[in-house]
């Protein structure tokens, strides 16, 4: 008996004349992600993507886990295929779903007949398949309102497909359909979640990390790599740009008032990230800021950091509280890595009393005590690049 995976499209079906571009991007993504698992035939028809293994030793468990993390897939299911013959459909349903049906008490059958040439209509398919399953599994009863399992029979152009329920997919829209953006990534909880959320809206990602040795360790940088690997399971491959930041931070410490340290540091970060973003074809920056979470994330402070940028800055966490952010970080498996005790550069030279209601002119006045241009140029020229797969 042949098993396939059916991917159900969500938001993509609403894209009108642009729908084909979204579908084509999704198909390319599915093929690329599955290529390291095995050989699969991937095709789309009638708002469904069919993932068909080309040999019997394909790891369907791993393939199902892989597609569960692909943005653009609203739901998916493993299903068996059968010829479009009612007797063969009934036999296949009983055989394929045996383990599932033996462990439950109630079920119902739903049928979807998109091939109108099939000689039985949907109610007739439900009655025939349901009656056959009751004969084969005498402990079962039908419950059309709250069944333990819904058995679905789909009659489509390519054949008949039998499955038990749908599994929720990653949702969103395919990565790459929304452009490209640069995420400022630290080792904390917030920025990996922000990266994940913007990838879900179709953005291809690049990541910029700021390192300040000897104040930050190599282990802190490796922690960021591990976080990005978790994000890349959803976003796909990306590049990480590590910026040497020690010289800039020591200049800020030596020449600026302490209560402006964090604001000026973040302005440098935004300017450098924008330089790299423009160079690599990205059109926006992404940060993990949440309004009011820390002193540098007040309305005034955010305004002062944004003032140095010439491109949009996306903050998907801006209205979320910490518990909501943590919930997502657990879902994408970054939380346990984020709480490892390796400090990032944002904790270096932290002011005792940071300014929460800054005036932009005063911030600029303080920053002008530093000759910024050569420092930024030096940092950009010495960036280290890593591929995250």
* C-alpha distances in Å from residue 240, one per residue of 52, 91, 341: 34, 52, 21
Q: Identify the pLDDT of residue 283.
A: 97
Residue environment code for 286-308, b if the CB has 16+ CB neighbours within 10 A, otherwise e: bbbbbeebebbbbeebbebbbeb
3-state class percentages of the chain: helix first, strand second, coil last, to nearest 5: 45, 20, 35
The token duo for 254 is 């030596």
Instruction: Answer whether 76's CB lies under 8 Å from 68's CB.
Output: yes
Q: Identify the pLDDT of residue 32.
A: 95
Q: Identify the pLDDT of residue 385.
A: 97
Domains of the chain: 3-168 (3.30.2130.30), 180-388 (3.40.50.620)
- CA max distance for the chain: 85
Shortest CA distance to 209 belongs to which of 233, 232, 186, 192?
186
CA distance 119 to 7: 26
Instruction: Answer whether 332's CB lies under 8 Å from 190's CB.
Output: no
Q: Identify the pLDDT of residue 352.
A: 73
Shortest CA distance to 189 belongs to which of 330, 291, 354?
330
Q: What is the mean pLDDT of each run of 10 residues along the chain (389 residues)?
A: 92 88 96 94 91 91 96 96 96 96 94 92 96 95 95 92 94 96 95 98 97 89 96 96 95 91 94 97 96 84 93 97 97 95 73 81 94 96 96
**β-pairing, 167-168 with 73-82?**
antiparallel
Q: Which residue has the tokens 């400022």?
A: 184
Q: Identify the pLDDT of residue 348.
A: 67
The token duo for 81 is 């295929």
Q: Identify the pLDDT of residue 13.
A: 87
């Amino acid at each position: 008996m042949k098993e396939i995976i059916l991917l159900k499209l969500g938001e993509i079906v609403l894209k009108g004349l642009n729908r084909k571009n979204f579908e084509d991007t999704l198909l390319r993504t599915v093929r690329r992600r599955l290529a390291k698992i095995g050989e699969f035939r991937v095709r789309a028809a009638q708002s469904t993507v069919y993932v068909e293994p080309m040999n019997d030793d394909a790891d369907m468990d791993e393939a199902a886990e892989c597609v569960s993390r692909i943005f653009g897939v609203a739901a998916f299911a493993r299903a068996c295929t059968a010829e479009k013959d009612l007797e063969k459909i009934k036999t296949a349903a009983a055989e394929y779903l045996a383990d599932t049906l033996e462990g439950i008490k109630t079920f119902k059958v739903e049928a979807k007949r998109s091939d109108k040439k099939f000689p039985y209509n949907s109610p007739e398919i439900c009655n025939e398949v349901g009656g056959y399953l009751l004969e084969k599994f005498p402990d079962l009863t039908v419950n059309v309102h709250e069944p333990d399992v819904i058995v679905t029979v789909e009659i489509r152009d390519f054949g008949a497909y039998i499955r038990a329920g749908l599994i929720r997919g990653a949702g969103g829209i395919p990565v790459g359909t929304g452009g490209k953006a640069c995420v400022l990534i630290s080792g904390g909880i917030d920025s990996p979640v922000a990266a994940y959320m913007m990838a879900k809206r179709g953005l291809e990602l690049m990541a910029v990390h700021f390192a300040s040795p000897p104040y930050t360790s190599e282990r802190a940088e490796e922690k960021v790599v591990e976080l990005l690997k978790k994000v890349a399971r959803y976003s796909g491959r990306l590049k990480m740009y590590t910026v040497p930041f020690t010289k800039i931070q020591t200049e800020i410490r030596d020449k600026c008032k302490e209560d402006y340290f964090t604001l000026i540091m973040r302005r440098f970060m935004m300017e450098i990230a924008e330089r790299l973003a423009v160079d690599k074809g990205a059109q926006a920056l992404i940060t993990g800021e949440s309004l009011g979470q820390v002193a540098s994330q007040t309305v005034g402070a955010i305004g002062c950091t944004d003032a140095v940028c010439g491109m949009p800055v996306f903050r998907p966490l801006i209205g979320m509280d910490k518990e909501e952010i943590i919930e997502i970080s657990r879902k994408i498996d970054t939380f346990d890595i984020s709480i490892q005790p390796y400090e990032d550069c944002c904790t270096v030279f932290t002011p005792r009393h940071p300014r929460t209601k800054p005036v932009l002119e005063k911030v600029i006045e303080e920053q002008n005590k530093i000759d910024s241009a050569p420092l930024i140029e030096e940092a950009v020229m010495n960036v280290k690049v890593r591929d995250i797969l």
